[in-house]
Amino acid sequence: MESLQAEALKKEIKELILDTLKIIDVKPEDIKNDAPLFGEGNSIGLDSIDSIEIIMALQRKYEVRIDDQNLARFVLQSINSIADFIIKEKEKQD
């Protein structure tokens, strides 16, 4: 996947997270691609309940499976890690 497509995917993921969690006071461009989504340095205040909603939304939209808790923890580290996971899963499906 080209970097332009990867950047578009990252923007789409940010929008999906904000829409899914009904966060209206943060813009997609306010979320750094490499910033942690949970814990210290988290720009949008996510918690463990949010992670479940995000996983469900990602699975629905991108038709990927995140069944393992350890995998989920790894995938949901940042926007970059989510995009990398989706790209790799889509390549496996092709």
Q: What is the CATH number for 69?
A: 1.10.1200.10
Q: CB 84: neighbour CB atoms within 10 A?
A: 18
Instruction: Name residue 38's beta-bridge partners.
Output: 46
Quick one: average pLDDT of 36-61?
88
What token pair was written down for 45?
């205040």
Using 50, 70 and 90 to split pLDDT, how confident is the model at 53?
very high
Number of C-alpha atoms within 13 angstroms, CB side, residue 64?
Answer: 23
pTM over 0.85: yes
Number of separate domains in the chain: 1
The whole domain housing 76 covers 3-93
Quick one: average pLDDT of 9-19?
97
